[in-house]
Structure 1
Amino acid sequence: MPELSVVIPTLNRGKLFHDTARQVLQQHFGDFDFWVIDQSDAEGRAANEALLAELNDPRLRYVHVARKGLPNARNEALARIDCRCVLFLDDDVILLHPDLLEAHVRAFGDPKVGGVTGRIVERSVRPNVAYVAAHLSPGGRTLTNLWGSEPQALLGLKGANMSYRMEAVHQVGGFDRNYTGTALLEDTDYSWRVHQAGWTLWYEPRAELIHLSALTGGVRVEDELRGEKWRFRSTAYFVRKHRGLPGVAKFAATFGAIALARAARWRDPSAVTTLLAAAQEGLAAFEAGPDEGIPAILTG
């Protein structure tokens, strides 16, 4: 059993993913296996398979899955790995230190730590609070700042650079597939469940990378309205799931104002109806129940 399994879900990212994969294999820490969960189309799949054949590294494991969706890809990995901790990386990152993997593993030296996130330098997103954070405000706005220089506890992890102790994974189960589309907040949801189960979430700045936030591939959408629709849906679902009806009331006030502001900026009054309908979809998804199962056929 390796100490660590590194998992990268990928979807039509081409050279960006190939560069990231090479960097993982160049890390100083050696006690890991490396799982590629590929959801790419035929052309992208062929290119990824060719890369792995070229690399010819015994630590590599490759799985192609037909069902798209970031939470599903993570669960497909969880169904297969056998390790002490698992590290999820995005397929469009640049590792800034050859000891990034070791920094994640060392953080689990504290037996209370169930999840770790590293320092993330975002290409397109800037911190919006002065303290280290990766969670939601009472009204549902995303609070983010993973640029800090000091290790510390926090309330959420970010999926581009996050790891979990497998004991915590076995306790809380899989990622929730109800975060569809851009899958916004699927990482926030999972880390909050780990936190609620009694584990400490930890920020380790030595595990540092750049997140390129590629404009195509992965879960990106180019249309701003579509992106906001997924944001409204995911946030409504998260708030209803974890904060109940009082949380929904705060969300409604905050995101109602956001919908009006977006409609004014886009000069499109119908955007209000579109965005609020997306929020209703999120609330309806909660009523249907979470979809957090790890594929049983693979875990038996």
Structure 2
Amino acid sequence: MAETVPLSVCIVTYERRDFLRRCLQALDAAVTDDVEIVVVDASAADAADLVRQVRPSAVYVHDRLVAGWMTRARNAALRHARGEIISFLDDDVVVSPGWQHAVLDAFADPAVVAVAGRTRNGQPGEETYDLPVGRLLPDGSLTEGFASVTASIVDIDHGIGANMSFRRALLARLGGFRDDYPGTAMREDTDIYLRVRRLGGKAVFSPDAVVDHLPAPHVKGRRFDTRYKLYARRNHMVLLARDGGIRSESLRRWIAREYAAVGDAPGLFRKVRRWGVTTAGIAWGSTAMLRQARWSPLPPERTDAAGNEIRAALS
């Protein structure tokens, strides 16, 4: 294996050339020369020249086979990353000065194996969040708060994919990301953090590891459109079934919560529409979890051929 470096930063991108350039320019200005940058690009056109104009030392991987599959692109990056710490950034974020130091400082605690950084969205009042940041609740719902400012580093159950970092040894043990969360890839980031928790690993939120999320448009559809909501429900059910088993109480409570929320929609038409989307999403999720989960929780480590290949590449 090639000699490791202290930190690799991986960016996966798909048909968002201008956003990739902006992300790389901010990242290059914010990190030291010994930080490795890995770009996995599923776009039709090769962007190697763009990447190396900004960061000549960057590793550029052009792979059309991962188009539409964010976690497969993340796993492709793992096959090339040499960092002892491996970070992932979305291509539509802008890294703030001090991000690198804050990430590595969070890992100074040897018990910490995963770090979620603060991801600002430019929304009024987002600095304050009344619930605990990044928790999986007993009813199967998730708290967020990843744009908030906490007094210090805090423990979390799950993090945000736009700004997350892991120890290389942990990713090797897990066998990389589960790469079968389709569509909008909702919950692929939550999945790996919950697998960390299943191993007994410590994940934390660092309010000083800051990026600004300046959202790019989706290649297909729009954020929060019907397609997005269907995939959100489908993928969330698979997530809960894998973490707690198909017969888990949190999964049943989450389904009940989703139907209870139908009544919150204003007006009869919107109630009927929300009921339809909820029912379709839960039906789709039920079919998917029967294929992708078991009655009992799945082991956190991947043991399939692709997982073993990633494990070997990282080991």
Q: What TM bracket, shorter-length normalisation?
A: 0.7 to 0.9
Decide whether aligned partners of structure 1 residues 108 and 128 sit closer, same or farther in structure 2, where only a CA change above 3 A counts.
closer
User: 1:281 maps to what in 2?
Assistant: 287
Q: Which one of 263, 270, 281 corresponds to residue 265 of structure 1?
A: 270
1:5-20 aligned within 5 A: 5-20=8-23
C-alpha root-mean-square deviation of aligned residues, in Å?
Answer: 2.8
The TM-score normalised by the length of structure 2 is 0.83
Cα distance in 1 for partners of 2:270, 2:153 equals 39
Residue by residue over 1:58-88, the C-alpha shift from the partner in whole angstroms, topping out at 9 and shown as x without a partner, is: 2x00112222311111111112222211010
CA distance in 1, matches of 2:100, 2:221: 26
Q: Say which of 252, 255, 261 aligns to 1:252.
A: 255
Deviation of the 1:257 alpha carbon: 2.7
Aligned residues: 293
Among 60, 83, 92, the alignment partner of 1:62 is 60
2:200 to 198, 201, 206: 198
Task: Name the counterpart of 1:163.
Answer: 165
Distance 1:62 1:299, change over 3 A: farther
Give the AA of the match of 1:112. A
| One-letter amino acid of the counterpart of residue 229, structure 2 | E
Residues 47-126 of structure 1 mapped to structure 2, 5 A cutoff: 48-55=47-54, 57-58=56-57, 60-65=58-63, 66-68=65-67, 69-97=69-97, 99-123=98-122
Report if the CA contact (8 A) 2:95-2:210 is conserved.
yes
Quick one: which amino acid aligns to residue 96 of structure 1? S
1:296 matched residue in structure 2: 309
Query: Equivalent residues in 2 for 1:34-49 (5 A)?
Result: 34-40=37-43, 42=44, 45-46=45-46, 48-49=47-48
**Using a 3 Å threshold, how does the CA distance of structure 1 residues 297 and 168 change in structure 2: closer, same or farther?**
closer
- Preserved CA contact (<8 Å) 1:115 1:165: yes
Does the 8 Å contact 1:237/1:285 carry over to 2?
no
Offset at residue 26 of structure 1 (A): 1.1
User: How has the CA–CA distance of structure 1 residues 220 and 124 changed in structure 2, closer, same or farther, with 3 Å as cutoff?
Assistant: farther
1:248 is displaced (CA, Å) by 2.2
Partners of 1:23 and 1:70 in 2: CA distance: 22
Whichever residue aligns with residue 136 of structure 2, its letter is L
Which deviates further from its counterpart, 239-248 or 2-11? 239-248
Q: AA paired with 2:40?
A: I
Partner of residue 188, structure 2: 186
Report if aligned partners of 1:75, 1:294 keep a CA contact under 8 Å in 2: no
- Specify whether residues 243 and 70 from structure 1 end up closer, same or farther in structure 2 by C-alpha distance, changes over 3 A only: same
Work out whether residues 259 and 275 of structure 1, in 8 Å CA contact, stay in contact via their aligned partners in 2: no
Q: Could you tell me how far 1:123 is from its partner in structure 2?
A: 4.5
Equivalent of 2:30 in 27, 30, 34: 27
TM-score by length of 1: 0.87
Query: How far does the alpha carbon of each residue in 1:77-100 deviate from its partner, in whole angstroms, 9 at most, with x for none?
Result: 112222211010010012222x21
Query: C-alpha displacement at 1:102, in angstroms?
Result: 2.0
| 3-state SS, counterpart of residue 144 of structure 2 | strand
- Secondary structure of 1:136's counterpart equals coil
